[in-house]
Amino acid sequence: MQRRVQVDSLAEARRRFERWRKFRGSGGRIPHELWMAAAEAAAEHGAEAVAARLGVDLVRLRHWTRIAAGGVPDRAPAAFVELPPLAEVGGVADAGCAAECTLEVEEPSGRKLRISLRGPATAQALELGRVLWRASP
């Protein structure tokens, strides 16, 4: 008769994360397989405990937990938006936008992105904003 050894999903996930961190070098995204192992452990031990033990972001872990459970992630993936050439937008002067603009995006986790634009790029940013706001529910 063979005994089945039950492996603790949190211990296994922690071992895999430690090995990945040791050999990955600097930087880099956490691979899909590791997120799925963390999500499996979170289903068993709770997201907060797993995030603390593995040293991962709780918001991202909850996102991956929903994916592992077959649910829909927090948000839909970003769609590709094709902008018309500047001549069709009307250029900076004709579009009525300033010669400079700053775009700011913030995630619920608090991570921020700020982009400063000058010249013709401001007209494209204006058009992109219009497209995105029209497409939002």
pLDDT band for 3, please (50, 70, 90 cuts). Answer: very low
24 and 62 inside one domain = yes
From the CB of residue 96, how many other CB atoms can be counted at a distance below 10 Å?
9
Q: Considering its fold, how many domains does the chain have in total?
A: 2
Contact 31, 21 (CB under 8 A): no
Q: Is 18 a domain residue? A: yes
59 and 13 inside one domain = yes
46 and 91 inside one domain = no
**The pLDDT value given to residue 122:** 76
Q: Is 13 a domain residue? A: yes
Q: Is 21 a domain residue? A: yes
Task: List Cα–Cα distances, 133 to 80, 118, 123, in angstroms.
Answer: 14, 22, 16
- The residue range of the domain holding 99 is 86-135
How far apart CA 50 and CA 75 sit, in angstroms, is 22
Q: What is the pTM of this model?
A: 0.49
**The pLDDT value given to residue 4:** 43
pLDDT digits (tens, 9 = 90+) for 19-44: 988 887 666 788 889 999 999 999 88
109: three-class secondary structure by DSSP:
coil
Task: Give the residue from 68, 97, 117 where a domain finishes.
Answer: 68
**The pLDDT value given to residue 90:** 47
pLDDT digits (tens, 9 = 90+) for 56-108: 999 999 988 988 888 655 555 555 555 555 554 444 444 454 467 777 777 77
Q: Is 3 a domain residue? A: no
